[in-house]
Structure 1
Amino acid sequence: MVRDFDPRPVPLAVIETCIAAVGTAPSGGNHQPWRFVIVGDPATKRSMRVAAEEEEQFLRRPVRSGVAFRPQAARYRREQAVS
Structure 2
Amino acid sequence: MNYTYILRCADDTLYCGWTNHLEKRLIAHNQGKGAKYTKARRPVVLAYWEEYSTKEEAMRREAAIKKLSRKDKLKLMGEI
Q: Give the TM-score of the pair, scaled to structure 2.
A: 0.25
Higher relative contact order (CA 8 A, sep 6+): 2
Larger gyration radius, structure 1 or structure 2: 1
- Decide which structure has greater helix share: 1
- Decide which structure has greater strand share: 2
